[in-house]
């Protein structure tokens, strides 16, 4: 770690522990490191004795963070990005239970007929399972990709605020998405040109500008995602732009060019240009890291520690982790404490879709 970076953290003891990292991208909108050929033609000669429930492990991490934040601030709100399969207990989890039980009892997992029998006996679909039910109580909103522009038939539970991040093919679809979102009482972030998305706030259009105070996601009429701050020379330029905008919800990283916000700066961002209140949400990837983080050790590389698994699918420099590893849970707990300490109103949790990679690497059939 450089002397300057050390100085930054010494100046903010116990407040925030984040450092510089490239924008980690957003699942569904960026593609950096796709599956390798070896991963696609995966062959498992010796079936594992036990396969973790990767979906529940992801739910547990979100629950852990939510419990901590809401314990300190009951008004703290959790937005999850994608992870729609986490909202229900589906057939895959029933098959997993059957597989693990069969292996525990000593059945030959190389013979797939026992899975076929399990499939015949399993419920075809269950909207809410025990783990999913507890998980949904810990989150406040779900942000889905292209909900309106792709006319999805998936309907999130009524208990959750719907946020849609839409890449529309043309201006007509853009306008129609706006109309549909208003009718659905959903928050919409929409664009037609990806090169301008998630960047400079001045290039974003406010949909349903609102002059009222906003103290929760339910009261909001519009939202902006500033996930890529690379166009700003420093955090002060970003702060000025946000203060001069009337967005109800602003989602942004908790640091700009390696420099974290202070508590005072975060609180100053909670006022729109018109003087009314807004919500300020910190973006946080819960299943990826990179070698620019303060905790990164010089000898670390993919596979060492073992929980560093592969390059990120959406960030060319990011690394996907075994997010259930105790060491990783300890790391993200410290990260998240920093977000809460800085008085952010909530967190936008990304990286939830990474459970799919681990399921693909340990297929049930």
Window from 55-69, 124-138, 143-157, 182-196 with minimum mean pLDDT: 124-138
Q: 109-148 as b/e, with b when 16 or more CB fall inside 10 Å?
A: beeeebbeebeeebeeeeeebebbeebbebbbbbbbbbbb
- How is the chain split into domains, by residue range? 3-86+133-361, 90-125
For the chain, what is the mean pLDDT?
85
What mean pLDDT do residues 15-24 have? 45
CA angle in degrees (0–180, nearest 5) for 153-92-154: 10
pLDDT of residue 45: 66
pLDDT of residue 47: 64
Neighbour count for residue 264 (Cβ, 10 Å):
9
Res. 52 pLDDT band, cuts 50 70 90: confident
pLDDT of residue 152: 80
- 99-113 pLDDT, tens per residue? 777 767 776 656 656
CA distance 173 to 192: 9
Report phi then psi at 248, rounded to 5.
Answer: -75, -40
Between strands 346-350 and 77-81, the pairing is: parallel
- 232-280 pLDDT, tens per residue? 999 999 999 999 999 999 999 988 887 889 999 999 999 999 999 999 9
Q: How many residues does the chain have?
A: 365
User: By CB neighbour count within 10 A (0-12 exposed, 13-18 middle, 19+ buried), where does 83 fall?
Assistant: buried
Between strands 346-350 and 279-285, the pairing is: parallel
211 pLDDT more than 70: yes
Neighbour count for residue 31 (Cβ, 10 Å):
11
pLDDT of residue 203: 78
pLDDT of residue 115: 56
Q: Percent of the chain having pLDDT more than 90?
A: 60
CA distance 208 to 190: 13
65 pLDDT more than 50: yes
12 pLDDT more than 60: no
Residue 347: beta bridge partners?
78, 282
Which candidate, 339, 277, 265, 328, places its Cα nearest to that of 66? Answer: 339
232, 203 Cβ separation under 8 angstroms: no
- 285-344 pLDDT, tens per residue? 999 999 888 889 999 999 999 999 999 999 988 999 999 999 999 999 999 999 999 999
pLDDT of residue 95: 77
pLDDT of residue 167: 94
Q: 42-51 as b/e, with b when 16 or more CB fall inside 10 Å?
A: eeeeeeeeeb
């Amino acid at each position: 770690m450089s002397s300057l970076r050390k100085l930054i953290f010494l100046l903010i003891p116990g407040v925030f522990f984040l450092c510089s990292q490239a924008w980690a991208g957003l699942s569904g909108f960026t593609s950096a490191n796709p599956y390798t050929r070896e991963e696609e033609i995966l062959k498992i000669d010796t079936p594992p004795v036990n396969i973790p429930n990767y979906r529940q492990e992801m739910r547990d991490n979100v629950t852990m963070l939510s419990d901590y934040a809401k314990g300190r601030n009951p008004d703290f709100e959790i937005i999850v990005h994608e992870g729609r399969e986490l909202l229900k207990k589906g057939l895959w989890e029933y098959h997993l239970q059957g597989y693990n039980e069969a292996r525990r009892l000593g059945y030959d997992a190389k013979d797939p007929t026992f899975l076929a029998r399990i499939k015949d006996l399993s419920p075809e679909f269950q909207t809410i399972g025990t783990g999913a039910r507890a998980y949904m109580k810990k989150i406040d909103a779900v942000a889905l990709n292209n909900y309106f522009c792709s006319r999805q038939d998936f309907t999130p539970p009524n208990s959750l605020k719907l946020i849609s991040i839409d890449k529309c093919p043309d201006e007509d679809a853009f306008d129609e998405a706006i109309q549909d979102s208003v009718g659905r009482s959903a928050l919409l972030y929409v664009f037609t040109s990806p090169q301008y998305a998630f960047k400079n706030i001045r290039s974003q259009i406010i949909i349903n500008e609102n002059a009222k105070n906003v103290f929760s996601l339910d009261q909001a009429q519009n939202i902006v995602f500033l996930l890529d701050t690379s166009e700003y020379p420093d955090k002060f330029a970003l702060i000025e732009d946000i203060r001069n905008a009337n967005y109800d919800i602003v989602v942004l990283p908790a640091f700009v060019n390696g420099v974290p916000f202070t508590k005072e700066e975060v609180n100053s961002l909670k006022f729109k240009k018109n003087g009314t209140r807004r919500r300020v949400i910190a973006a946080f990837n819960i299943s990826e890291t990179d070698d620019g983080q303060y905790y990164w050790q010089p000898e670390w590389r993919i596979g060492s520690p073992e929980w560093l698994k592969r390059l990120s699918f959406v960030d060319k420099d990011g690394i996907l982790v075994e997010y259930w590893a105790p060491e990783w849970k300890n790391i993200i707990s410290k990260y998240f404490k920093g977000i809460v300490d800085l008085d952010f109103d909530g967190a936008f949790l990304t990286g939830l879709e990474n459970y799919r990679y681990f399921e693909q690497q340990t297929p049930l059939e």
